[in-house]
């Protein structure tokens, strides 16, 4: 009897091992995927160009009189204010020249006063037996000559005072001053070259070259709003960061390049001191004169476009596509035409409609024609933010 039980157990075990694995586990359910509903978002049309940041004003400082450089009164690489004293050239030779010309003016005034008195006396005597017309004429000529000498002396005094003023070199504009090319103790003069350079800091210019085809199209599109002046300029810094402040187009060139068929466009953009900086320094502002940047010229009016997270767009040898879960839960492959894309979002020009569910999670587990279990997931925060700021 024990032998019979053993044989029965063995038979049951062999039958269980011979069953297919699916028969053991039962039918498997459809794979689960995360989907996001494609949304209509206000998207601004943008055009991208390579640009350069330029200072609104650049001034080179030069000495206008010759002398020893006695003082440098600024810290290199910092901001200076308009009228701030920067250099002092030795004053005594020019102070002496002013004093000499002041004496010359005083002498000329005395001579003129004497000539005026002589002329007055000659005129009084003219109608007496002692008077002569020749004496009047000579006195008048002397008076006119002395008046001219006084005017000349005053002009020379003014020149001496101007030269004395040139011994103090002041900032003609507010801005950031660079390195000083001459140290104190050296003789400087008009032929010494640039002492230092000042560049204005806020606002700055952003210049770029635009294909004339783009310029004509944008002018036509926004003609009633002021043409290119209605567009906003956004700047992407060399480190990939989008600059916080927007600019406006303020200038458009009057000639088209014959070699590139482009036209120069210039915008004005703010460049304030970064929050948290105690004093001016090399890195207290984000825009620097001469800096290369990426320029995004953004349209004045947004247009409703279909937006999906960037990870929903896939690529193969046929181009871009997305996997959409249809109403019956079956995966569909949709070829898509892309509009503007960012690292977070993609604008779908065609191929996916608003409200359709695109797969963003579990893509590797599915294929077109497969029935899936779709679960709505939240749009990634980065994608939601980028869609709102496009």
Give the total residue count for the chain: 390
Angle between helix 133-165 and 92-125 (nearest 10): 160
Query: Residue ranges per domain, the chain?
Result: 32-41+305-389, 47-57+202-298, 91-166
Q: What is the pLDDT of residues 56-98, one digit of tens each?
A: 999 999 999 999 999 999 999 888 999 999 999 999 999 999 9
Window from 65-69, 160-164, 381-385 with minimum mean pLDDT: 381-385
Pairwise pLDDT comparison (12 vs 291), residue with the higher score:
291
Q: Give the predicted TM-score (pTM) of the model.
A: 0.66
Alpha helices in the chain (DSSP H): 2-17, 21-25, 92-125, 133-165, 212-221, 381-389
Which of these, 152, 142, 133, lies nearest to 114 by C-alpha position? 142
Which of these, 187, 189, 169, lies nearest to 177 by C-alpha position? 169
Q: What is the pLDDT of residues 253-267, one digit of tens each?
A: 888 888 889 899 999
Q: Say whether 296 sits in a helix, a strand or coil.
A: strand
Buried/exposed 177-205: b ≥16 CB within 10 Å, e otherwise: bbebebeeeeebeeeeeebbbbbbbbbbb
pLDDT band at 149 (very low <50, low <70, confident <90, very high): confident
Give me the phi and psi of 85, to 5 degrees please. Answer: -75, 125
Give the pLDDT mean for 134-150. 78
Supply the pLDDT for residue 28: 61
Supply the pLDDT for residue 389: 45
Q: In CATH, what number does 32-41+305-389 get? A: 2.40.420.20
Q: What is the pLDDT of residues 187-232, one digit of tens each?
A: 999 998 999 999 999 899 999 998 888 888 887 777 777 777 778 8
Judge if the upstream peptide bond of residue 203 is cis by omega within 30 degrees of 0: yes
CA distance 69 to 80: 20
Q: Which CATH architecture has domain 47-57+202-298?
A: Beta Barrel (2.40)
Q: What is the pLDDT of residues 332-348, one digit of tens each?
A: 898 988 877 777 888 88
């Amino acid at each position: 009897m024990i032998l019979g039980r053993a044989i029965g157990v063995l038979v049951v075990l062999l039958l269980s091992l011979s069953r297919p694995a699916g028969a053991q586990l039962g039918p498997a359910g459809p794979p689960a995927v995360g989907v996001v509903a494609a949304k209509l978002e206000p998207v601004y049309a943008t055009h991208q160009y390579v640009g350069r940041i330029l200072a609104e004003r650049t001034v080179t400082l030069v000495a206008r009189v010759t002398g020893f450089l006695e003082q440098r009164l600024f810290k290199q690489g910092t901001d200076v204010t308009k009228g701030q004293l920067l250099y002092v050239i030795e004053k005594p030779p020019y102070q002496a020249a002013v004093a000499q010309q002041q004496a010359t003016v005083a002498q000329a005034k005395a001579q003129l006063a004497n000539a005026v008195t002589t002329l007055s006396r000659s005129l009084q005597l003219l109608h007496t037996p002692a008077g002569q017309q020749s004496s009047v004429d000579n006195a008048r000529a002397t008076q006119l000559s002395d008046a001219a000498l006084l005017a000349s002396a005053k002009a020379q005094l003014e020149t001496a005072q101007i030269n004395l003023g040139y011994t103090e070199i002041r900032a003609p504009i507010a801005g950031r001053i660079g390195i000083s090319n001459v140290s104190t103790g050296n003789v400087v003069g008009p032929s010494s070259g640039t002492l230092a350079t000042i560049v204005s800091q806020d606002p700055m210019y952003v210049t770029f070259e635009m294909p004339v085809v783009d310029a004509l199209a944008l002018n036509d599109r926004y003609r009633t709003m002021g043409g290119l002046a209605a567009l906003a300029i956004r700047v992407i810094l060399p480190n990939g960061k989008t600059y916080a402040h927007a600019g406006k187009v303020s200038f458009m060139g009057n000639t088209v390049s014959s070699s590139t068929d482009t036209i120069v466009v210039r915008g004005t953009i703010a460049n304030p001191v970064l929050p948290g900086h105690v004093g001016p320094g090399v890195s207290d502002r984000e825009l620097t004169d001469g800096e290369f940047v990426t320029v995004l010229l953004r349209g004045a009016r947004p247009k409703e476009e279909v937006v999906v997270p960037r990870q929903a767009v896939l690529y193969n040898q046929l181009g871009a596509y997305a996997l959409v879960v249809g109403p019956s839960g079956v995966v569909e492959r949709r070829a898509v035409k892309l509009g503007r894309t960012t690292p977070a979002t993609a604008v779908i020009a065609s191929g996916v409609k608003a409200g359709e569910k695109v797969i963003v999670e579990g893509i590797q587990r599915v294929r077109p024609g497969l029935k899936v279990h779709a679960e709505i997931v939240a749009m990634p925060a980065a994608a939601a933010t980028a869609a709102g700021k496009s």
